Amino acid sequence: MPKQFDLLIFDWDGTLMDSAGVIVDSIQRACEDIGLPAPSDRASRQIIGLGLIQALQALLPDLPADDYPRLVERYRHHYLGRDAQIPLFAGVPQGIRDLHESGFQLAVATGKSRIGLERALEASGLGPWFAATRCADQTHSKPHPAMVLELIDELAADPVRTLVIGDTSHDLLMASNAGVASLGVTYGAHLAGDLHPHAPLALMDSFDEVYAWLNANA
């Protein structure tokens, strides 16, 4: 089958790294630390993928502005204590390397900070396989299309031949806003019902399925 895509843009948390549970727990602990009731797992998962400040504002819109820095500090305290131990999903290390060696350009668009992504790339060993990356503290947060459009521009890619792979509605809406195709994964933060309305080419239940789909169709 002729190759359809040249540039594959991956989300990080919940797509390549199995971090959604740790993010949810860190949000809940941070809220408790500053005297707020812990939000539900579902509510906490819904804001994964956004930049941290935007995510907390979406989750807790009535929180006084002066309390957000304190909440961010407590979130980082809980998350950073565990992030080095968060595993990649099964199949990711070899799959990403194989996709790179097959001739795809690979990139990352993430709600993580630049420092957080660099730490994750180094700890995971995946850094060498990605040609470019964008983080929420460098440009507009998802679902704004800026991350995708900037990566396309940096890598001189064709939007028609660009595919976004992500686990949240924010990822898929970012792709739609940028005018590029998307592939949804159901093993991360959001449910299939959250992803389906954004018209991904397919929904995958594991990274192995993502890898197989890309090899067969991309």
Q: Encode pLDDT of 191-215 as tens digits.
A: 999 999 999 999 999 999 999 999 9
Per-residue pLDDT reduced to its tens digit, 38-82:
999 999 999 999 999 899 999 999 999 999 999 999 999 999 888
Instruction: Give the pLDDT score at 3.
Output: 82
H helix count then E strand count, the chain: 10, 6
End-to-end CA distance of the chain: 9
Confidence class for position 1, pLDDT limits 50, 70, 90: low
CA distances from 6 to 98, 124, 129, 162, 218 (A): 14, 24, 14, 6, 8
Q: Provide the token pair at 5.
A: 């895509």
Domains recognised in the chain with CATH numbers: 7-19+88-217 (3.40.50.1000), 20-84 (1.10.150.240)
pLDDT confidence of residue 84: 80
Which positions are catalytic? 11, 13
Q: Which residues contact 50 (CB under 8 A, 6 or more apart)?
A: 58, 111, 136, 141, 142, 170
